[in-house]
Amino acid sequence: MSTNPHAHENLIDSDTGKMGMWLFLFTELFLFGGLFLVYAVMRTKYAADFHHAALELNAFVGATNTVALLFSSMTVAMSLTAIQQQKSGKAIGLIFITLLLAGVFMVNKYFEWGHKFSLHLYPGSDVMKTLPHGEIVFFGLYFMMTGLHAVHVLIGGILLTLVMFKIGSGKIRHDHFLMHENSALYWHLVDLIWIFIFPLLYLIT
């Protein structure tokens, strides 16, 4: 009975890569978890101000972005299944759809932020300085949380673009797809974080 030492090495590398990715994802959860904890404390302290400030946010835009990310999470999972089934063309197409949905999210975010800047509702503006302290805190957290999340969307988009090209060149295939799997995990994290951000900021009652 013969064994393939290279296959064994690939399995070890795959397990190590997955473990490293999971550890990285946990650090990201701690980062956003800290922001969520600060939000919870400040919302308790400035409940009325948070409610009033949240009225400036467009819940429809937030909901649209939520739907876009939920569908993108589905398509990236389907792309991983496709590559495992040796359907590289389908995998590329599904990643492309994921990137389009990410584009929808970023375009909506661009216009949403642009509207806030047109109203001078951004940290350090003269208008912001006239608001109650609780509203200043809310908008500070809004820009920090959504801005940091948008950076993660961009990073995820870059990773998935690289995956798409590597599938096309044959470097990612049905028996070698660790980068694809880890990029999909990262994208699921991006989706999960937004699922928390959306109700916290846009659906305050």
Spell out the SS3 assignment of the chain: CCCCHHHHHHHHHHHHHHHHHHHHHHHHHHHHHHHHHHHHHHHHHCHHHHHHHHCCCCHHHHHHHHHHHHHHHHHHHHHHHHHHCCCHHHHHHHHHHHHHHHHHHHHHHHHHHHHHHHCCCCCCCHHHHCCCHHHHHHHHHHHHHHHHHHHHHHHHHHHHHHHHHHHHHCCCECCECHHHHHHHHHHHHHHHHHHHHHHHHHCCC
Tokens 């993660």 locate to 152
Q: What is the pLDDT of residue 19?
A: 79
Confidence grade of residue 205 (pLDDT, cut at 50, 70, 90): low
pLDDT at 101: 98
CATH dotted code for 25-202: 1.20.120.80
Mean pLDDT of the region 11-21: 66
pLDDT of residue 34 exceeding 80: yes
Q: What is the pLDDT of residue 2?
A: 42
Rounded-to-integer distance, Cα 159 and Cα 48, Å: 41
Say whether pTM exceeds 0.75.
Answer: yes
Would you say residue 5 has pLDDT above 70? no
CB-CB contact of 204 with 51 (8 Å): yes
Q: How confident is the model at residue 22 (pLDDT cuts 50, 70, 90)?
A: confident
What's the confidence (pLDDT) of residue 167?
A: 97
pLDDT of 3 strictly over 60: no
Please state, for a pLDDT cut of 70, what percent of the chain lies above it.
92
Q: Which of 98, 88, 97 is nearest to 176 (CA)?
A: 88
* pLDDT of 14: 62
pLDDT in tens, 86-99: 999 999 999 999 99
* 204 compared with 194, residue with greater pLDDT: 194
Residue with tokens 């946010």: 57
Mean pLDDT of 167-173: 94
Residue 29 is predicted with a pLDDT of 85
Residue 112 — φ and ψ, nearest 5°? -65, -50
pLDDT given for residue 1 in this prediction: 43
